[in-house]
Amino acid sequence: MRTPTRRTVLVSALAAAGTGLLAACSNDAGPDPMKGMDHSAVNHGPTGQAIAPAGFVSPNGPEVAAAEAGRRPGPERKVALTATETTLDLGGRTVRSWAYGDRLPGQEVRATLGDTLALTLANHLPQPTSLHWHGLALRNDMDGVPGVTQEAVRPGASFDHRFALSHPGTYWLHPHSGVQQDRGLYAPLIVEDPKEPLRYDREWVVVLDDWLDGVDGSTPDAVLAELAKGMGGMDHSSHGMPGTDMGGGTPTPATGPSRMLMGATSPLLGGDAGDVAHPFHLVNGRLPSAPETFTAKPGDRIRIRLINAGGDTAYRVALGGHELTVTHTDGFPVEQATTQALLLGMGERYDVLVTVKDGVFPLTALAEGKNAAALAVLRAGGGAAPDASVRPAELDGRLLTAGQLKADASVRLPAKAPDRTVRLELTGGMARADWAFNGRRYDPAQRYPVAAGERVRLEFRNGTSMWHPVHLHGHSFALGADGPRKDTAIVLPGTTLAVDFDADNPGLWMVHCHNVYHSETGMMTVLGYQA
Ligand code: C2O
Ligand code: CU
């Protein structure tokens, strides 16, 4: 028999005093939403704060410490980051926004496999914030999810993140607080492999982003408030669920013009392309009229690391005059395959190799279905820079999707039948701004149980009329038996995507749509390792 800890005693006491979440939420129950979900001990405490349900691993529990020790944390790589309000120059247009330091994207964090990343985040923002390491299988109490894995970092405070880096690859970091990610708060995170098997001459990190913050008075919070009213303008006040501290915090009065997007469609995305009309699309923080230029020599092999840091935009990417050899997606190697174009949902990454031709070439990121594009330039010879409106023919050429790739043999999941299937139906819509899993809007006290050692299947059934890039924290799942290892994958409307992962990283891990406006209105939940 286990000795009750102070914590479990406290939780039970509060649970007895609390009001049931079930009662609070029972009016929006979808079809059989509770199946497989443990709500037995979910309660709200006297302050209305959600109290963690009992029976699950704690983010700073001994299981998490043991998993971290198994990663054999190596030498420290020290980094300091400041989240601050600042003025950003997008290239001829300045905006007030929030960013890491005074730059966009934030200064890239680069470390080596086996390092211990020791990153101090100072919060100079007027709101609480947090730092999430998108794609990393790290220790749970450093995952940066306020109200689930740790507390938010208060204004004026700082937080020391410290964890082992256990896999090389292309990752990125952003807050997990409200819609802060749709400001300038993002930066690439590159974990180098000391035994890097690829040969290349140069490396180019390319971060794509849709932008509205500070443009004609717009803010992501105002856009969220507009979307949360639904298309009929009914007040659903989905912003700020009871007991959540998403850090995005207080409802903001709508400012700026309407940014609600209607009628954007894309065959590649199965219909509706997005909800938000971002006025700008950026590569590495630059407008197409003042693009970043990357210089190389003809014949150079370049590794391009593509990252979609957008809030609501899928990007179709091509490099004029070149084929792309895909080597990785979401940090993990694939059997190399060539393509002319790639489609990246929000949160996704692709690494590609190109052999540079002689001349000047546009790297174009089409805002899929939105009739706009972001641009960067590859210069390896003389000639005029491409016009901002250029659309390389490769954009309409062969396009490899993640489902067509195969995992490199070194990272293929061994064949095994799933021990457990977690069914997540993607529900809701823009009309009522009721995006959710299984008809239940996000509550930080939700837990879908999994057990350490299991092969877990996540089955995403998209019953909505829109595509969603679904993301799992702390693990890389496999897309089918020999498909690529990823942490973010596009689920088209009307389709079901099944992904498998090994439950080898104990803790509480978010599953959510990486459309930040969908996750914030409710399409987000928690997988919990049973204690
Ligand atoms: Cu980029 Cu919760 O994730
Ligand atoms: Cu979504």
Band (pLDDT 50/70/90 cuts) for residue 254 is: low
At 37-54, the pLDDT tens digits run: 444 444 444 444 456 788
What is the residue type of 1? M
Place of tokens 């299984």: 438
**Could you tell me the distance, in angstroms and rounded to a whole number, from the CA of residue 497 to the centre of ligand 1?**
19
**Residue 473 Cβ contacting ligand 1 at under 6 Å:** yes
**Residue 134 Cβ contacting ligand 1 at under 6 Å:** yes
State which ligand 1 atom lies nearest to the alpha carbon of 347: 1
Q: Cα-flanking dihedrals φ and ψ of residue 393, to 5°?
A: -60, -30
317/366 Cα distance (integer angstroms): 6
pLDDT at residue 67 in the model:
98
246/239 Cα distance (integer angstroms): 10
**Could you tell me the distance, in angstroms and rounded to a whole number, from the CA of residue 468 to the centre of ligand 2?**
4
Percentage of the chain beyond pLDDT 70 is 86
pLDDT at residue 23 in the model:
29
Asked if 475 contacts 501 with a C-beta cutoff of 8 angstroms, the reply is yes
Counting ligands in written order, which one lies closest to the CA of residue 460? 2
H or E segment at 63?
Answer: helix 62-70
134/472 Cα distance (integer angstroms): 9
**Could you tell me the distance, in angstroms and rounded to a whole number, from the CA of residue 253 to the centre of ligand 2?**
24
**DSSP 3-state of 207:** strand
Average pLDDT rounded to a whole number, residues 292-308: 98
pLDDT at residue 230 in the model:
86
363/114 Cα distance (integer angstroms): 33
Residues in CB range of 358: below 8 A, 6 or more apart: 298, 380, 381
106/108 Cα distance (integer angstroms): 6
Average pLDDT rounded to a whole number, residues 385-399: 96
Average pLDDT rounded to a whole number, residues 399-403: 97
Counting ligands in written order, which one lies closest to the CA of residue 472? 1
Asked if 168 contacts 72 with a C-beta cutoff of 8 angstroms, the reply is no
| Residue 318 confidence (pLDDT) above 50 | yes
**Residue 510 Cβ contacting ligand 1 at under 6 Å:** yes
pLDDT at residue 377 in the model:
98
**Residue 176 Cβ contacting ligand 1 at under 6 Å:** yes
At 426-469, the pLDDT tens digits run: 999 999 999 999 999 999 999 999 999 999 999 999 999 999 99
| Residue 32 confidence (pLDDT) above 50 | no
- Burial level of 142, CB count in 10 A (0-12/13-18/19+)? buried
Q: Taking Cα atoms as reference points, which of 518, 504, 434 lies closest to residue 469? A: 518
**DSSP 3-state of 120:** strand
pLDDT at residue 35 in the model:
45
Asked if 395 contacts 364 with a C-beta cutoff of 8 angstroms, the reply is yes
| Residue 229 confidence (pLDDT) above 80 | yes
At 67-123, the pLDDT tens digits run: 999 999 999 999 999 999 999 999 999 999 999 999 999 999 999 999 999 999 999
Predicted structure pTM score: 0.89
Alpha-carbon distances of 37 from 17, 32, 129, rounded to whole Å: 22, 10, 29
Band (pLDDT 50/70/90 cuts) for residue 233 is: low
What share of residues in the chain are helix, strand, coil (percent, to 5)? Answer: 10, 40, 50
Name the residue with the closest Cα to ligand 1, atom 3. Answer: 134
| Residue 268 confidence (pLDDT) above 70 | yes
- Cis-peptide into 105, omega within 30 deg: yes
Pairing of strands 420-427, 524-529: unpaired
More confident residue, 246 or 406: 406
pLDDT at residue 255 in the model:
78
pLDDT at residue 232 in the model:
65
